[in-house]
Every structure is written in structure tokens, then in C-alpha cells.
Chain A
């Protein structure tokens, strides 16, 4: 078994603790958010190849909408403004929606984190939050970089 397949299989079966090492979660080292997008905001080959797989992505946690949530927005640079406090028109195009395994503990907006989760592509509107995302990490865990 290739190491990558082994790790993915392990991650899928583990009851993951809230914070775990990124190296145990994803096949490759953490990628940057820009590795998922082309400049015209189409998905990169990297993203298309790994759709459905667990990947690790570097970024920053935007201030969450509410406490006791399993959702946050990963931004490529520190973004102090809560995306939900602005209209959708003012969200950056290249964000990553993250659905976590467990209720999140907020990390300050300017502390780099590595988030691992299953990569999902395609437009999705959260039925509860109304948040529309184009790319997501599901079943995600994160840690300070």
C-alpha cells in the first residue's frame, strides 16, 4: 500500500481528536489555498485530482459567525472582518469553507493554522447558514501551524 492510501484510510477510520497533527491527516504536506484555484478562480488541476481526498491546507481562521459552530472560513491572509458581517459581495473570492468534526475553538484571525479535511468541489449552499461556497473541507480538523 502506498503511504498516501494508507494515511487516507487511517484518517477515515480514526475517531479524530479535536486537534491532531496535520501530517497524520493528509497525504501531502499542507498546500496553500492558491494551489486550489487558478487565477481566474477555476479549480486547479491539483484540486481536481484530489477531489474527495483528505488534504491539508494552510490559512487563517476568519472570525466565526457564532459560537458553538462546526463551520468557519479559511482565508489565505489574516482577515479580521467576519465574512458574515459583510455582504457576500465583499467576501474574497478565494476562501475555503471548512466544516469541522467537532465544535470549533476559535483561533485568533492572524495565527496561521493547517486545516485537514476531505476536499469537496462545487457550489453548495449551507441550508442553515445560507453560506454559499465553491470549495470545502469536510470532516475537518485543524491546528496552529
Chain B
């Protein structure tokens, strides 16, 4: 009976294969590409080796809609229509969706979301690395509620730890690697009388002195210098610290190397074991659209330097890399800088991937949250992602699938852009002299919409566009990356990183369901 069943299955498979060959669409590239994808996925083997290195790349505010915009922009910049473009991390083998809400917030904030990734538990809105018993802006509640970070955990295994951000290095996402605070805004000071925690900049320097943080590169020089101090040689940066301390001097006196522009960045001794502190601007680093190589390094440049520096440790490293200003540009409602910083992030991911080995390095690419960004329709293919939504071309005989010549029109007789925002400074409702809000949409041309300074039209008037609660993607490769699957809570990211760095190497174990990854199995950089 069993034989009969097997024979039947074999016959069915054969029949199915034959049926596919005879399908009229079987020779379409869409069809054959998808078949090849099945073969690629079936050939994958889970990598259950212990991860020597973990790189967590976070593009702040890069939810799936924002990421879509960057995909189309990068693809269109390279001459295509954009939709079919594959960003470097979109070729990673494993993917999950993360639910990003905070313990007390449906719409998440960047501090607790980064904290969730770095501690394994969700956290409270505007706090970093405190338990649910901590209270926002309540200094006294810090005591006894501090969580242990992934950086602290791996440094006990003698791994090195690095942080990179294009935002201030004391900003929410980088701070979550090293700080524990009742308020994310306590970057340069804590309230008077607060003794249970230090400000975030001080916590960074303390963690460098303690040997937990080995490398920190980002913006935010002003947070490290006293308010009565002007760093005349460093772009005239005025300090912000009320306590008057110069933490840059403290760090260098404790043995750190320091850089503040491209020239000093190039002069860092990456072969040295001396910790690295690099602070490139008084506040956030420049948007990629406004940056020059002569002034400050790109995110990819910093990634390359960090990996070169950290790779010297035979015990491995943990490196968190943040593209912090995808978020800021979204807050501004300025899609141009969103996607140009998005491209800089994609290049940093490619750099990290190129410089590491999939056999021993777990790379995770994600976002902390999405924004109130949305896409209009129905746009024809190749409609410029920053420009107008052109009509779908239906005269496709001859293989021309690119959009029609005319933009789609709304009921008000005006065209509209592909990208819009639900709220923000680009609101079409403007404050009038009588303080009421009213208005109508501008009749925008494609050229105007594609301009670097253009704000996409938004609905609800707000000074700053908001985050949104939408899921974000997690792309992963390397040891234990196959544990990213399905829809997961954001704090799950920590658990995969922790599993990966502590896993018994399958080669040394007694065996089990998982086999060690064959050296050649789907692990190309």
C-alpha cells in the first residue's frame, strides 16, 4: 500500500512538472526567474555556527513605504524604472516583519525601539533601557530598573563594541547601545538633583573608559563640551553642557583617539587598540545631499573604518550602524533627503557585507519605525519617485511599459506626486491671519516636485511629520539569520543576536536537527 502511495506521488510530481513545461507562460522571464528563486531558496542551508560578529544596521524611520521610495530612487538613479531594483539588503536570504509599538505607545519612538533591539524587551516611550517600572523623566525611577545591554553582554565575552550614527551619537538609536536613561533628551545634562543616572554623553565616555564601547562615530560634538566653551578649531562649535565639562578631553586623556572632520578621520590609527571617538558636527551630521567628502565621511566610509578597527579582535565584535537622518528628512516632509540618505544607508550595508564573511558574521538590517508617508496611485511604471504620478501607459504594443506622458489629475484638476504625507509641514492647510487653517493644493510641476527642497503635500498641519505604527522589515544573513521569519516583536531581534553569539558551534556539538552549514551553501558576500 505504501509503495502504491509513493508511486502515485511520483506520478503526480511528474505530471505537475510536465504541466508546467506546457504552460503558455513558461518561457516568460517572470516565470523562469520565479522558478530560479524556488531553486535558490530550496538550496539554502541554515548556518548554525556561533556568530563571531554581529552587525545591526538601522535606518531610522525606514519602514516598508520609506524603503520602497529608496528602492525606486536608487533604481531610477541607475537608469531603470525602479520597481524591480534590488537594494543590497533585499538580496539577503532571511526576512521578518517587526511590530514596533512601545509598551505604552501605539506609535513608537526611536528610543525604546532601539532599546528593545539592544535588551530584548519592549520599553516605555521616550526612555532608554529601563524596565517597565521606570517612569519617563523620573530620575528616581532609574535605580533598580536599569536593563543589561547586548553591548555589556558581549563585552563580557571580550568582544569589541562599536557604534556609528549620522545623528548625534547621543541620540536615541546610538544611545541605546550604551545608555540607560529616564528621558532620551537628557543628552548633555540631567535635571538638578538627579543622581541615579548621568547624562547620555557622560554615559558614553564612562562606557568607553569601562571598556564596553571601543568605537563611537557620529555627530553631536556640542553635547560633550561645556556651554562656556567654543571649539574655535572645530567649526566654531559651541558647547552645550551646563556642567562645563569637556568630555572630549576626558576621553582622550583616558587614552581615546579623537577625530572631528575628514582629515582627522583619515588620520585615525585603526591598527591601534586605542578607543575611537569621532564627533563630526556640533549636532547631527549633514544630510547626504548636503555633505561633502572634504568635510565629513559618508556612512559607508565610517562603516569601513569601524570594521577595519573592530576586526582586529579575534573574539569578534558587535557594531550598530544607524542612518539617523532618513527619519529627520521624513519629519521634514522632504522626500528628497529621505531617499538620498536611504541610498547612503544602502551603500553602508553593501560595505559591511563586502568586508565580512557570512560564515561568522550575522548582519541584520532593519528600521526602528515607519513614518506617516504614503504613496498615491495609479502611477505608470517609471513615474519618478520624487515627482509626479504619471498615468499608466496602455499602449504597450512593442514593449513600451513606461508611464504615459501626462500626469494623473485629482478632482481639483491638479496633478499630484507619487509620495505624500499624512501630516507635517507640507500640509496644504496653512495658518491664516485669523489663525484658522485652510488652503488648496499647489499646482506643482514635475520639476518643482523633484527639487531638493520640495516638501511633498501633506494633509494634517503639524510642525513636524510623525512616526507611524506600521511594521518594519528585518533583513538578515549569516549565522542564525534563519530565525528571522514571520511577524515578530521588535525586541526579538536581540534574542536572535544573543542566540547567535552564544550558540554552541554545531561542529562541536553532538548533533541535532541542524547541520553545520556547508562552506559553499548560499553564503556569497
Contacts and interface: CB of A to CB of B under 8 A. Distances in A.
Interface residues of A, number: 18
Given A39-B290, A40-B294, A77-B334, A89 B430 contact: no
B294 A89 contact: no
Interface string A68-90: 00000000111011000001111
A87 B425 CA distance: 22
A80 B295 contact: no
A52 interface: no
B425 A78 contact: yes
A111 B282 contact: no
Interface string A83-99: 00001111000100000
A108 B431 contact: yes
A89 B283 contact: yes
A77 B430 CA distance: 15
Given A78-B425, A89-B221, A39 B292 contact: yes
A40 B427 contact: no
A102 to B, nearest CB: 17
Interface residues of B, number: 26
B27 interface: no
Interface string B394-425: 00000000000000000000000000000001
Contact of B455 (A34, A77, A88, A90): A77
Contact of A87 (B238, B292, B431, B464): B238
Contact of B425 (A32, A34, A76, A109): A109
Contacts of B452: 34
Contacts of B453: 32, 34, 76-77
A110 interface: yes
B387 interface: no
B332 interface: yes
B325 interface: no
Contacts, number: 53
A89 B237 contact: yes
Interface string A106-134: 00111100000000000000000000000
A32 B454 CA distance: 12
A77 B332 contact: yes
Interface string B430-460: 1100000000000000000000110100000
B47 to A, nearest CB: 43
A111 B292 contact: no
Contact of B463 (A40, A87, A109, A111): A109
Interface string B241-282: 000000000000000000000000000000000000000011
A37 to B, nearest CB: 10
B182 to A, nearest CB: 22
Interface string B317-360: 00000000000000011100000000000000000000000000
Contacts of A77: 332, 334, 425, 453, 455
A110 B283 contact: no
A90 B282 contact: yes
A76 B337 CA distance: 13
Q: Which 7 A-B pairs have the closest CB atoms?
A: A89-B282, A80-B463, A89-B222, A78-B425, A108-B431, A90-B283, A110-B425
Given A76-B453, A87-B222, 10 more contacts: A39-B290, A40-B294, A80-B425, A89-B240, A90-B282, A94-B290, A108-B431, A109-B463, A110-B461, A111-B430
16 contacts: A32-B453, A39-B292, A40-B295, A77-B332, A77-B453, A77-B455, A80-B463, A87-B240, A87-B282, A89-B240, A89-B281, A108-B430, A108-B431, A110-B425, A110-B426, A111-B431
